[in-house]
Amino acid sequence: MLGRHSKLQEQYNEAFTSIQDQKQLISQLEEDLRSVNAWSAMFRGTAEVGVVTAVIVLVIAMVMIDVEAVWSNAEN
């Protein structure tokens, strides 16, 4: 029983660390997106801004799916 508890605690800590790292990455992606959009608006057409925004949104969605997978694995 104690071994199982220790294993679960370790999995929880790993999941928590991963989620914290992913939250930090998401924040950085959002910051980068704001910067790209600002520069894009100055130097490029609006169509390219939309493409860049779509790519960043896709990356964020993929990270969130990974976060959900980590939590699912931690619960099992």
Task: Region of 44 please: left (phi>0), alpha (psi -120 to 50) or beta.
Answer: beta
pTM, 2 dp: 0.50
| Domain ranges across the chain | 2-75
Residue 38 to residue 49: CA distance in whole angstroms: 9
* pLDDT tens per residue, range 21-76: 998 988 888 888 888 777 766 665 555 556 777 778 788 888 878 777 777 776 66
Question: What is the pLDDT at residue 75?
Answer: 67
